[in-house]
Structure 1
Amino acid sequence: MFETSRGTLPPRAWSRSDAGRVDLSGTWAFRYGDSPEAPADFVEALPEGWGEIKVPGHWQLQGHGAPIYTNQRYPIPVDVPRVPDENPTGDYAREFDVPASWDGGRIVLRFEGVDSFARVWVNGSEIGSTSASRLPNEFDVTDHVRRGERNLVAVRVAQWSANSYIEDQDMWWLSGLFREVTLLHRPDGSIGDHVITADFDAAAGLGTLSATADVPARLVVPELGVDVAAGESVELAVEPWSAEEPRLYRGTLASESETIELAIGFRRVEVADGVLVVNGRPIQFRGVNRHEFHPETGRALDEQTMLDDVLLMKRHNLNAVRTSHYPPHPRFLELCDEYGLWVIDECDFETHGFGGQGFSSGPGNPVDDERWQPALVERMRRMVIRDRNRPSILMWSLGNECGPGRNIAPMANAGRELDTTRLIHYERDFTSEHVDIHANMYLDFHDLEALGRREEEALDDAALDAHRRAQPFILSEYAHAMGNGPGGLTEYQELFDRYPRLAGGFIWEWIDQAILTTDAEGREFYGYGGDFGEEIHDGHFVADGLLFPDRTPSPGLIEAKKVFEPLRIEAASDRIRLESARDAVTTRDLAARWSLETEGEVVASGTLDLPPVPAREVVEIAMPDLPETAGETWFTVRAVLAADAPWAEAGHEVATGQWQLTEPATREPARVTVAEPAVGPGSFDGHGRLESLGPLLVDAPHLDVWRAPIDNDHCFWGFEPPVMDAWLREGLDRMHHRTDEVTWRGDSLEVVTRTAAANSRLALVSRWLWTSDGGGLDLALTVTPEGEWTTPLPRLGIRLGLPGVFSDAEWFGRGPGESYVDSHRAALIGRYRSSIDGLQTPYVMPQDNGQRSETRWVELTSTDGASLRVSGAEPFGFTARRWTTEQLAAATHPSDLVAGDRVWLTLDAYQYGLGSASCGAAVHPKYRHLPEETTMRIRFDVRG
């Protein structure tokens, strides 16, 4: 019961071969049932009256059953290794022919991936069963097929099996034949398992190449002049493979009856003085955790989708992938070889639902149950054997979030027995006794810095402590990208750069795993846990990626691109400082363009003579000759690809640098005499509330301290109490406003208000001073806290309502996308335009979004030609949307948000940071604002 595969062939390396192959993907006959114990009445002849299903695919996404999302909880009773009688089951059948040319040899039926357990028949004979959903299973069907006749393959797939207990990854429970099914010819003398070893000695510049195979074969690499028998080793001058320069040598391994294509990359990975080193140079992971996912097909990915992922990663300066939490489709690894991404390949093993934390694995956990050892060791062996010829893979990971246990050491030993060229990773080996890399998840900045300094808390065992302290450290997961965020990427990167021991990390995660579906009105939306009638689920915790479900980059990915850029461009007095963040190669592939902008308008531009900056070195170059300017002026450099690369065209932007050269001109607003009820273009009621701006009727601005909570405010799986709880406890979502004083003077209107929550002595006292120069309306707002505040505010600003005819915005500030105090490096200062609707960011779970920070002025225009320009004496943040904060907070999907007849404009002195506390570190202390006296100076100008 603990090792469920039966009749499978020994594992072998994945390869491209000239041996015969028939693709059995496509349309299969299908029947959906509720028990794998039902009679197998479909195995001898193609059934009549059945429906059809697409293979590869999941039945839950093709009209049968329903998907279930859980983060760690099991959707079935935990009764290892048994599962319920109610067990959704898919019966598959299709006919096939054996090509007449397949004379002699053996015929193999291969399943690349089956979730979670399958029994297989060919022409009525049961040939075996599968295990390890994300690994291939092969069966010798030579004696069961009939040449010259139609043959039938029949498969019964059960959703729940013993496999389910060790495949509890944070993802949708989806079932079926979700990867390709193929029929393979294995002629006599064909190559079974084979190993390509391509070591690189950086000091000598030499590579050592050899191949082993289970039959006589020759290794041929024409570019290198290599033609040797398998088993022989050659040493020769080569260029190494790296993620930055993925140099591959094409060759073949040929036996008497089969030729296998090879893509050989020479590299050596090791630990030197506690630093992760590849090809003799330290490297740093700027990585991401990637689940295989598509919003319509689940984990059944086509090649274009896999390529899209790789290209998006490369174009956003990511250099590494952790294959969370299972071996990916082999084609994805091929693409990583070809385009250049470091890979941590992870075993199909997770038991998170057993609750193992710290040094406990949790009761009944398979990781600590010796009965599971054969199955777990076999999974490790199958992964290593399948993938060990891929140069992009630097580490094998034993699995994820299973806790410590007696089965970890045998798994690690199995990996090392099969492959000595890579390191072993497993984050839940907290002492690092069995691994080569010290790893952890979601550390805050303080704890990460302690690790960088090797000042982490010591283990009781001195020898083990010394062993772990000598290892490089990586964050297997960090910067949880759920909803609006992550914030703080810059602060993490600063620590990675400061301490050589810190080898970087992997953002969680790549894509929002939300499924495209429809509501009762037929409107499409992206569904998450609970949208499919699940008995238990974990809500929208599955929507935590750098990509939206349709693979549109989120603001978080745009920020990651900036933080991970391979060239840092900064001012150095009157020169330009260029610092390479690359690990191995120069910046010879980059060109640079500069522009000079005053008040957001380009006044000069040109190109820079960009030198090839060596890896991890600094070069300074002269500034170009610039014209004199008047007004706020910014100098911007954009580093772009000088020529086409395999992953992007020439001109693709790789890095940016920007700094301010001149300050804005200051303005002391003149004041004219005012008379109740008007101050310039502003009309006020008897309580001193603004009613109109010229012809525009407005909903009076009021002090605003609330934001629609972002996922990180909830701290779902964070490591401190949710900040939102404190906000709700203080009543910041239900503030009351009172006018205390209204004073008309000869040149101003002064209004004093008090903002506080019910049952609270804490308050914010605001002094609104309205003046005019006869043209616009000026506001000087001073907010003073009253009482002993211990809770930072979500935001501090004002909100006002405008007519719904406003449709577009132009602004001078950060853009073009949204930006927040701890996630704004990618948003450069400039002049931008957008529709009001285009300012919104469609997070799968609606939440605060769309702020444009450090705004100097914003002008809203309407369909009837009217405009409202808001400018600040100091930069401010603004949002403009067609629904209120309260409506945004109440929505559960973007389709719930219906435009009203108002545009709500919020002007912020500041907002609380984003952080990534939905699962991980809270907002960095410098981005938390306890209330203190704050002044905003805002001007309103109306036209039309």
Structure 2
Amino acid sequence: MYPSPALLEGLAKSPWVHRPIVMCEYAHSMGNSTGDLKKYWEVIRSHPNLMGGFIWDWIDQGILEKDKDGKPYWAYGGDFGDKPNDGNFCINGIVAPDRTAKPALWECKHVFQPISVSPVDLKNFDFTVVNRQDFTGLEPYTLKWLLRENGVEVQHGIIPAPACAPGENARFHVPVDQDKLKKDAEYVLNISWDLAKKTLWADAGFEIAWNEFTLPGHKVKPAAVVSGKARATENGNHITLSGKNFTVVVDKAKGAVSSYKVNGKEQFVSPLKPDFWRVPTDNDLAGGNHIFRDMRVWKDAVAHMTLQSATIDENQSGVVCTYRLPVDASTLKVHYLVEENGTLQVSADVLKGDNAPDLPRFGFTVEVPGTLTETAYYGKGPWENYWDRKSGAKLALYKTPTSDLQYKYVRPQENGNRSDVRWFALAGKNGGLMVRGGAKVDFSVWPYTAPDLEQAKHIDEVQVRDFFTVHIDYKQLGVGGDDTWSAQAIAHPPYRLSAKSYQYSFTIRTVKSIAQAEKLY
């Protein structure tokens, strides 16, 4: 039960085990979990004596109740006066109590898919397909392809599925019109296998499997920097950068942008500031998860950091602030730079002390008006995804109501992240804000604050605000979940922020609409 991928592989290779191996329980899916499932299946598919396993569990075992105000919530152990109880420990499924899909279900679907495609020659669009099925060829499926340019579909087609017996592989070619491809755009090719006819369990067109590939030799041009001097003035603890239609106020002591006004309108509800903490998941809170316990020193690091230096750029357009963090002499360097058109550039470098623990996250957070009710982003989606649980999310341009970016776990916890995001924008009737990563960022948006989420035990207890909390991250710790009680609850090593230092950057600017944001990328 609950072996790590390394232990599972050790069993598969053991000279003392001469029988098939199946995990009776693995990948404990309690709360925001099911991280690095693909690693298990890389191991399973590499050894013929490994049969697979049973995720624990299928469904969150919550019971629908209403609070004194009539607000619904899912009840769990202890909510009925029952003593002793296991709390929310039976809330550990890949579907919610009402049988709707949790984000982890889409990861499972992709990892388990019975057909897989890999490139033979990606530049010439030649591929090989592996039929993992035991009794069925590829005849029941329609082979589709589509090409996205900067997240938007520009070409598509249907091609004959190659003859491929169960357990075999076959080659095929995708007829992309290469003459229409641009050098300065990003292209992602998606190949899918859909049911050709209706079955007892799904309609025709249901997607059985998919793979996607980013084409080499194409790259989006960096955003053009509109150079020009701002006017910098220093007044005690604040430095103001101002131009023709904007003012940016930097609070030196807090390392935050306390005000960002464009055309006289304040864009932030609260300051844009660094952030190292995340609201703990069930796996983070696991009794044996000493690694995350050690990370708790980062929770209040920003609140207690001390200013070492603050200097204005030579061109008067930026402020560089360096801070000592109260975590083993770690340091944070933040550079706020304003372009002539009012675009705010943010760069951050964190250098951890020699004995500092891993970071739970490295990013910035800000609160923005609740009137920004629509969101678009170019990144992994459409459902929530994380560093170690994103293979089941497709890279595309998505548009959604801002409030729908959250996911309501039965016990409130970290949620709603989107990974590998090139840009995102939040807008309303009177315009909005666009964020563009220097490379890629992760982001999430909530209609509540992190403390609101962290103190709640049920979904009805989370206080909904009239603003949105936005996280703009380099990355955060993966969700993990080999189990939810031991040191194995933590994310696998490749999905931890364990390095000595990290750097990233992004820009924020105003936009009139989501449509304008799309054109700016």
TM-score for both structures, normalised by structure 1: 0.50
Give the Cα separation in 2 of the matches to 1:762 and 1:530. Answer: 42
Task: Check conservation: 1:569, 1:579, Cα contact below 8 A.
Answer: yes
Q: What's the CA shift for 1:489?
A: 0.5
Give the Cα separation in 2 of the matches to 1:474 and 1:679. Answer: 64
Q: What's the CA shift for 1:767?
A: 2.7
Task: Check conservation: 1:762, 1:789, Cα contact below 8 A.
Answer: no
1:474 paired to 2:22: yes
Task: Check conservation: 2:62, 2:97, Cα contact below 8 A.
Answer: yes
Name 2:478's counterpart in structure 1: 913
Q: What's the CA shift for 1:653?
A: 0.6
Give the Cα separation in 1 of the matches to 2:275 and 2:293. Answer: 18
Of 899, 921, 929, the residue aligned with 2:497 is 929
Name 1:529's counterpart in structure 2: 77
Name 1:663's counterpart in structure 2: 219
Give the Cα separation in 2 of the matches to 1:755 and 1:744. Answer: 19
Runs (4+) of structure 1 exceeding 4 A deviation are none
Give the Cα separation in 1 of the matches to 2:447 and 2:145. Answer: 37
Aligned residues: 484
Task: Check conservation: 2:60, 2:93, Cα contact below 8 A.
Answer: yes
Alignment deviations for residues 870-903 of structure 1 (CA, whole Å, 9 cap, x no partner) = 0012111000112121221111111111221321
Of 451, 461, 465, the residue aligned with 1:900 is 465
Give the Cα separation in 1 of the matches to 2:350 and 2:225. Answer: 21
Give the Cα separation in 1 of the matches to 2:330 and 2:356. Answer: 12
Q: What's the CA shift for 1:579?
A: 1.2
Give the Cα separation in 2 of the matches to 1:915 and 1:905. Answer: 23
Alignment deviations for residues 96-150 of structure 1 (CA, whole Å, 9 cap, x no partner) = xxxxxxxxxxxxxxxxxxxxxxxxxxxxxxxxxxxxxxxxxxxxxxxxxxxxxxx
1:443 paired to 2:3: yes
1:865 paired to 2:430: yes
Task: Check conservation: 2:162, 2:171, Cα contact below 8 A.
Answer: no
Task: Check conservation: 2:310, 2:322, Cα contact below 8 A.
Answer: no
Give the Cα separation in 2 of the matches to 1:913 and 1:570. Answer: 26
Task: Check conservation: 1:715, 1:723, Cα contact below 8 A.
Answer: no
Name 1:453's counterpart in structure 2: 13
Q: What's the CA shift for 1:775?
A: 4.6
Give the Cα separation in 1 of the matches to 2:209 and 2:355. Answer: 41
Of 675, 678, 686, the residue aligned with 2:231 is 675
Runs of 5+ in structure 1 lacking a partner? Answer: 1-440, 456-465
Give the Cα separation in 1 of the matches to 2:68 and 2:343. Answer: 49
Task: Check conservation: 2:116, 2:130, Cα contact below 8 A.
Answer: yes
Name 1:208's counterpart in structure 2: none
Name 1:788's counterpart in structure 2: 354
Name 1:940's counterpart in structure 2: 508
Matched AA of 1:853: S
Name 1:654's counterpart in structure 2: 208
Of 337, 343, 356, the residue aligned with 1:770 is 337
Note closer, same or farther for the CA distance 1:619–1:704 as it changes in structure 2 (3 Å cut): same
Name 2:151's counterpart in structure 1: 600
Name 1:822's counterpart in structure 2: 388
Matched AA of 2:275: D
Name 2:292's counterpart in structure 1: 724
Alignment deviations for residues 584-624 of structure 1 (CA, whole Å, 9 cap, x no partner) = 32122111211111111111111122124222222111121
Counterparts of 1:833-848 in structure 2, within 5 Å, are 833-848=399-414
Name 1:634's counterpart in structure 2: 188
Matched AA of 2:385: S
Alignment deviations for residues 292-318 of structure 1 (CA, whole Å, 9 cap, x no partner) = xxxxxxxxxxxxxxxxxxxxxxxxxxx
Give the Cα separation in 1 of the matches to 2:419 and 2:49. Answer: 35
Q: What's the CA shift for 1:762?
A: 3.7
Note closer, same or farther for the CA distance 1:569–1:808 as it changes in structure 2 (3 Å cut): same
Give the Cα separation in 1 of the matches to 2:311 and 2:127. Answer: 53
Report the 3-state secondary structure (helix = DSSP H, G, I; strand = E; otherwise coil) of the residue aligned with 2:133: coil
Matched AA of 1:703: P
Alignment deviations for residues 350-405 of structure 1 (CA, whole Å, 9 cap, x no partner) = xxxxxxxxxxxxxxxxxxxxxxxxxxxxxxxxxxxxxxxxxxxxxxxxxxxxxxxx
Matched AA of 1:453: K
Counterparts of 1:174-573 in structure 2, within 5 Å, are 441-454=1-14, 466=16, 469-573=17-121
Q: What's the CA shift for 1:685?
A: 4.2
Report the 3-state secondary structure (helix = DSSP H, G, I; strand = E; otherwise coil) of the residue aligned with 2:479: coil
Task: Check conservation: 1:790, 1:930, Cα contact below 8 A.
Answer: no
Report the 3-state secondary structure (helix = DSSP H, G, I; strand = E; otherwise coil) of the residue aligned with 2:410: coil
Give the Cα separation in 1 of the matches to 2:378 and 2:135. Answer: 39
Give the Cα separation in 1 of the matches to 2:225 and 2:322. Answer: 24
Matched AA of 1:633: Y
1:876 paired to 2:441: yes
Give the Cα separation in 1 of the matches to 2:461 and 2:511. Answer: 34
1:744 paired to 2:292: no
1:609 paired to 2:160: yes
1:779 paired to 2:346: yes
Name 1:92's counterpart in structure 2: none
Alignment deviations for residues 661-683 of structure 1 (CA, whole Å, 9 cap, x no partner) = 12222345242111122255451
Task: Check conservation: 2:298, 2:359, Cα contact below 8 A.
Answer: no
Report the 3-state secondary structure (helix = DSSP H, G, I; strand = E; otherwise coil) of the residue aligned with 1:582: coil
Matched AA of 2:209: A
Q: What's the CA shift for 1:733?
A: 4.8
Task: Check conservation: 1:739, 1:754, Cα contact below 8 A.
Answer: yes
Give the Cα separation in 2 of the matches to 1:895 and 1:547. Answer: 19
Task: Check conservation: 2:328, 2:355, Cα contact below 8 A.
Answer: no
Alignment deviations for residues 273-330 of structure 1 (CA, whole Å, 9 cap, x no partner) = xxxxxxxxxxxxxxxxxxxxxxxxxxxxxxxxxxxxxxxxxxxxxxxxxxxxxxxxxx
Higher-Rg structure is 1
Q: What's the CA shift for 1:693?
A: 4.0
Q: What's the CA shift for 1:931?
A: 4.3
Q: What's the CA shift for 1:782?
A: 2.2
Give the Cα separation in 2 of the matches to 1:487 and 1:596. Answer: 28
Matched AA of 2:230: V
Q: What's the CA shift for 1:503?
A: 0.7
Report the 3-state secondary structure (helix = DSSP H, G, I; strand = E; otherwise coil) of the residue aligned with 1:724: helix
Matched AA of 2:446: R
Name 1:696's counterpart in structure 2: 266
Q: What's the CA shift for 1:774?
A: 2.4
Matched AA of 1:443: P
Q: What's the CA shift for 1:709?
A: 0.4
Give the Cα separation in 1 of the matches to 2:307 and 2:321. Answer: 6
Note closer, same or farther for the CA distance 1:476–1:679 as it changes in structure 2 (3 Å cut): farther
Note closer, same or farther for the CA distance 1:777–1:682 as it changes in structure 2 (3 Å cut): farther
Task: Check conservation: 1:853, 1:878, Cα contact below 8 A.
Answer: yes
Identity of aligned residues (%): 28
Task: Check conservation: 2:376, 2:397, Cα contact below 8 A.
Answer: yes
Q: Which has the higher contact order (CA 8 A, sep 6+)?
A: 2
Give the Cα separation in 2 of the matches to 1:771 and 1:612. Answer: 58
Task: Check conservation: 2:381, 2:418, Cα contact below 8 A.
Answer: yes
Matched AA of 1:675: R
Alignment deviations for residues 801-842 of structure 1 (CA, whole Å, 9 cap, x no partner) = 112222121000111011101100111100001112111111
Task: Check conservation: 1:478, 1:507, Cα contact below 8 A.
Answer: yes
Q: What's the CA shift for 1:751?
A: 2.6
Task: Check conservation: 2:380, 2:394, Cα contact below 8 A.
Answer: yes
Name 1:850's counterpart in structure 2: 416
Q: What's the CA shift for 1:738?
A: 3.3
Q: What's the CA shift for 1:790?
A: 4.7
Give the Cα separation in 2 of the matches to 1:763 and 1:803. Answer: 33
Name 2:276's counterpart in structure 1: 705
Give the Cα separation in 2 of the matches to 1:734 and 1:532. Answer: 38
Matched AA of 1:602: E
Task: Check conservation: 2:115, 2:133, Cα contact below 8 A.
Answer: yes
Name 2:378's counterpart in structure 1: 812
Report the 3-state secondary structure (helix = DSSP H, G, I; strand = E; otherwise coil) of the residue aligned with 1:663: coil
Note closer, same or farther for the CA distance 1:679–1:585 as it changes in structure 2 (3 Å cut): farther
Of 788, 793, 803, the residue aligned with 2:369 is 803
Matched AA of 1:591: T
Alignment deviations for residues 727-751 of structure 1 (CA, whole Å, 9 cap, x no partner) = 22x3535542333333223153123
Q: What's the CA shift for 1:522?
A: 2.3
